[in-house]
Amino acid sequence: MKASTKEKLYSVLKYLWFAFCFITGIFVGALWFYHDSLPPTSELRNYTLRSGSEVYDRNGKMVYLFAFEKRKLVSLKELPQYLIDALIITEDKHFYHHFGIDILGNIRALAVDIVRLDFSQGASTITQQMARNMFLTLDKRLSRKLKEIILALRIEREFTKDEILEIYFNKIFWGGQIHGVETASLYYFGKHARDLTLAESAALVGMIQRPNYYNPAKHPERLIERRNMILGKMLKAKKITQEEYNEAVASKITGDRSSLQQYSTDYYIEHIRLYLERKYGTEKLFEGGLKIYTPMDVDLSVYADSVLNRYLSNVEKGYPASMRYDSVPKNSVDINTRYLQGGILLMENSTGQVLAMLGGRNFTHSKFNRITQAKRQPGSAIKPTYYTAAIEKGYTPATVINDAPITLTGGNGKDWTPQNFSRKYYGPSRMRTAITYSYNVWAVKTVMDLGLDVVNDAFRRFGIDAKAEDYSAALGAYEVTPINLISAFTTFPNNGFRTKPVFITKVEDVNGKVLERSSTAKYDVTTPQVAFIMTSLLQSVVTSGTGAAARNNYYWQAAGKTGTSSDHRDAWFIGFNRKYTLGIWNGFDNNAAISASASCAPIWGQIMTKAIRNENKGRLPKSDDPRYSFVVPDKIVKRTINPKTGFVSEYGIEEYFIEDNIPPARSDTLSYNYYPTRWENP
């Protein structure tokens, strides 16, 4: 080699050496400069991932997570190996061989950043990504990159490789509020991370780079392409076989996307959030790692939501387009809903546990809960409360009142003549007939007979938040909160005890300590005998009266009451068997009149049957199953009565009575069993 060539080579190497030393000096100086501004090693070890509070349904399945960052922690040992392999091959193939940074990769990235002056290059190892996600911002500056390197070196000294991977899997962002692989798996695929398939594992890893861009719900084709690229890398690295690769790339991107998303259970979740946040505070609820156990039946809620929306949508077909649910633009949020609304509450009678609650048709449209927050007129659905008081005062199913016109002075000082729904009058009628067909005049005369003080006492015992100030209370003219009215009906199948709705059965802290455990709150309303007589009367409503449609697709004993408010602004059906009570309401938020077809009874049977099916693990029990059949208590007897007069007779129909309150026997068909009412002169 010529001397001149050697000199040139020496000169180039000298300049390269000086450049290397200069850059290294700047780099080392920067590291020293930022060294003291970063968290010490002890803080790295003490760093804890914030974990939200988990909500579980009655079957022990996690259904929701209260969290600022939705995260459910998982151990590395629980994760499938192909999930770990997919991450390392995609994000940091030299993970187990470097000491926190990829030197060549970082030098290349740094050089490009300096040339372009935009500092946008990556080359971050898994450890560097972990450092950035734990302690740094996401800004693309050289200073952040240097801090990232320092932290990565510290992390590698403090943690093992497996510990780093475990923290990474629990920390990484997967779009929206989703953090951590367990939460992402539950959210996108409806399963625990340990149960992920190879294809699902590759898909989740593929989302890390750009979670929203690869969102499987919005852009499945993008995610499939990204997933298959990762599967190809795994095949090339011999982490999977050709057969496994072929099977995985052939699979579709699917997932029930229901485990952690609020849909049919949204009103239920929001209801318990309000309670929990008031009691435990926002920080403890969203970062305290509580475990919240509920009696919620998610499958039943989904079914009830579907049945309610389908039914009301059919009713709306006769409405103007502006008043229909299907006219609302997609992605509408917090709007003034002009369409027909509905609500449902289903609870277990003996415990008060609420299996399903729908506070409206779409939580995204309106978060107002029409079951727990609304005030609505109950119409005839209020009648069983004061009819109970009437039985206590000596009325029987055979008591007769003349269903004839009567004119009263209303609360506004004007004359008021109550009418039946049919605009007809039916003359002397027995109590069972009046309840079966919901006679209004009969009801008003009963309230006049009892007096408003007795009616208000009945409201109080039944937990009804209303005060009767005039006789229009007989027809449900005063507003009530739906949850109170529906739960009041548990009195009848519970032998006279009303149960308070229960939405939470147990709350545990992060260490498993029980913070609260629900107990059934029971309120003594009436005697078992009176409760049974009322149950028997309400059975007639379902068997042959205004609530007969409730028996559609339903085969067990049932009792209940329909209700329609004045001007047809509200429609109700509250029905029960021995096990469950289910109340359904519909109406407009602005109190507009609804059509006559908007009754609630037709869908009651479908939803109650689903509850029974779920309790029996998909099987339908016999129609006489004792769990759903009413029990006749002591001191209840049967007698044959004349169906016209209400007196005991040799021939006629059978009727239930409390043994110390039986009508006398009379053969005279010209008199009626008006006792103990004051209406002996019709």
Catalytic residues: 91, 380
**Maximal C-alpha separation, the chain:** 143
Question: Within 10 A of 58 (CB to CB), how many other CB atoms are there?
Answer: 18
How far apart (Å, rounded) are the C-alpha atoms in residues 560 and 540?
9
Provide the pairing of β-strand 506-508 with 415-416.
Answer: unpaired
**Hey, what are 500's tokens?**
């308070």
Q: Write the burial class of residue 219 (CB in 10 Å: 0-12 exposed, 13-18 middle, 19+ buried).
A: middle
Residue 607 phi, psi dihedral angles, 5° rounding? -70, -40
Task: Give yes or no for a contact between 352 and 581, defined as CB atoms under 8 angstroms apart.
Answer: no
Strand partners, 178: 70
HEC-encoded secondary structure of 367-409: CCCCCCCCCECCHHHHHHHHHHHHHHCCCCCCCEEEECCCCEE
Q: Where are the beta strands (DSSP E) in 413-504?
A: 415-416, 427-430, 497-499
Provide the pairing of β-strand 354-358 with 400-403.
Answer: unpaired
How far apart (Å, rounded) are the C-alpha atoms in residues 66 and 54?
6
Q: Write the burial class of residue 33 (CB in 10 Å: 0-12 exposed, 13-18 middle, 19+ buried).
A: exposed
**Hey, what are 157's tokens?**
């000294």
**Hey, what are 269's tokens?**
């979740």
**What Å distances lie between residue 150 and 122, 137, 336, 488, CA to CA?**
16, 15, 53, 65
How far apart (Å, rounded) are the C-alpha atoms in residues 285 and 278?
10
Provide the pairing of β-strand 53-56 with 291-293.
Answer: parallel
How far apart (Å, rounded) are the C-alpha atoms in residues 178 and 201?
16
